[in-house]
Amino acid sequence: MAHRRVFQTLIRQYSSSSFKTLNPLLQSLPRITQTQHFPQKLNLISPNLTPIQNTHFSITRHFSSNRSDDSDDDDDDDDDDDDDEGESLDEDDVVSGFSGKKEYTAEEKESEANAIGYKVVGPLERSDRVFKDYEPVFAVIQIGSHQFKVSNGDCIYAEKLKFCEVHDKIILNKVLMLGSPTQTLIGRPMLPDATVHAVIEEHALDAKVIIFKKKRRKNYRRTKGHRQELTKIRITDIQGIEKPVTQVVPEKIKKTVKKVEKVAVPA
Amino acid sequence: MFDTPLTDLLLAYAGFEYSIFDYCDTMSQRGVWQLKKLVVSYCNWGGSSRGVREFMESKLPAFKESNPQLEVETKHIGGQHPHLEGIYRNKNERTVCVRNMTPEEVLECATKLRNSLGRKVVKLKTRHVTKHPSVQGTWTTALKL
């Protein structure tokens, strides 16, 4: 047992030192071959080197911790001749971050957000006049698996929306029903052209709920605290339905008519 | 609220839609950041402050730049555990103890304070807050479509 351990440590040390020394050699080889036009030399050298490295890395690293090992990725990349490609694949596949958070690409974010039912437009600008007065129009919206009947100026507490920050403008595209005092549009199941604009107000935790489990006379008691992460969304605009026109306009017309009459008389 | 008229003027000048009625409603934010001041208290000697000290060196400048509206203050308290204190626009104060936390965790705490309104942490009555619950008229048994 001790002999095997000694053997393994020796191999590990040799492999780590040799890999470091071989690495610059390998990187320089393709350049050399390109300039000197000796592709045959590369083919001769590389099969000799790669099997050595693979045998070294297959013996070592029996740890249980989930580290980003070169060994695991080298075993997968047996077919690759070029070791530079293998290293670049390692960096992309590895889950970075101390807490193991998944890093989303921009496309993944959009597609997941779309699946839940919203789309991030962008941060709220100071020049945006987004907050309007109340309009008598409602919409039935779906966010995730929950549905809300929503109007202009309302606040909704939904489950935490991942890919948006406070003061972001949002478009909610899963609209199931629109309504106004004169008209109702019912979707089957969604309305295609309807959109609801909203602004994220806060990301916060709900009050603590204590989950208490007990089985009587069985000596079993458990207490668990839980705080749900919520997002507060303020609805600013509903589009896709004709909004009723307000009655402020006729008064202004009467005033202008009077002024015209007065001007006409002295002339 | 004694400082409402001044804040009204400032925010109207800044170009925000703003009304006194909405400001009195503590739930509304309307494009206005609710966290006014963040006080980072730390200790130079204690080991529980190590994360906060590293946070102050590495991540605090970036946090300050990304939140220009926020007033960040660092305070030295000797022999005590470190904490972050957030002072909100509605005069609420929320203190979070950050002892023995890594700089990343301290940044998460600071971001959570910045993301929240200053409202009291109570169980929500409803998840839908509205002033106009009905558009087409409330349903009654006498209604006939």
Per-residue DSSP letters for B66-128?
H-TTSEEEEEE-TTS--EEEEEETTS-EEEEE-TT--HHHHHHHHHHHHHS-S------S-SE
Q: What is the pTM of this model?
A: 0.63
Instruction: Provide the pLDDT for residue A258.
Output: 52
Token couple for A8: 């393994």
Let me know: does A143 contact A158? Beta carbons within 8 Å.
yes
Question: CB-CB: which of A137, A153, A207 is closest to B122?
Answer: A207
Contact B17 A130 (CB under 8 A): yes
Q: What does the alpha-carbon distance between residue A74 and residue A174 come to, in Å, rounded to a whole number?
A: 45
Token couple for B141: 């048994």
Whether pLDDT at B14 is above 70: no
Strand A195-205 vs strand A229-239: parallel, antiparallel, or unpaired? antiparallel
Instruction: Kindly state whether A266 is in contact with chain B, defined as any CB-CB distance less than 8 angstroms.
Output: no
Higher pLDDT, A248 or B53: B53
Lowest mean pLDDT among A81-85, A112-116, A140-144: A81-85
Whether pLDDT at A228 is above 70: yes
Instruction: For chain A, give the percent of residues with pLDDT over 90.
Output: 22
Sheet containing A138-143: give its strands across.
Answer: A146-151, A138-143, A175-179, A184-186
- Residue from B135, B136, B139, B145 to probe the interface with A (highest A Cβ count within 10 Å): B135
Instruction: Provide the pLDDT for residue B142.
Output: 92
Contact B124 A157 (CB under 8 A): yes
DSSP state of A189: S
Smallest CA–CA distance, residue B74 to chain A, in Å, is: 24
- Secondary structure element (H or E) that encloses residue A163, with its range: none
Instruction: Provide the pLDDT for residue A164.
Output: 83
CB atoms under 10 Å from CB of A162, counted, come to: 13
Chain segment A153-205, per-residue pLDDT in tens? 999 999 988 888 888 888 888 899 999 999 999 989 888 888 888 988 899 99
Higher pLDDT, A249 or B57: B57
Question: Taking CB atoms and an 8 Å cut-off, how many pairs form between chains A and B?
Answer: 95
- Residue from A155, A156, A167, A242 to probe the interface with B (highest B Cβ count within 10 Å): A155
Let me know: does B135 contact A180? Beta carbons within 8 Å.
yes
**In chain B, what residues touch A134 (CB-CB under 8 Å)?**
131-132
CA distances to A80, A108, A197, B101, B140 from B119, rounded to whole Å, are 58, 34, 25, 26, 35
The pLDDT-based confidence of A214 (bands split at 50, 70, 90) is: very high
Whether pLDDT at A25 is above 70: no
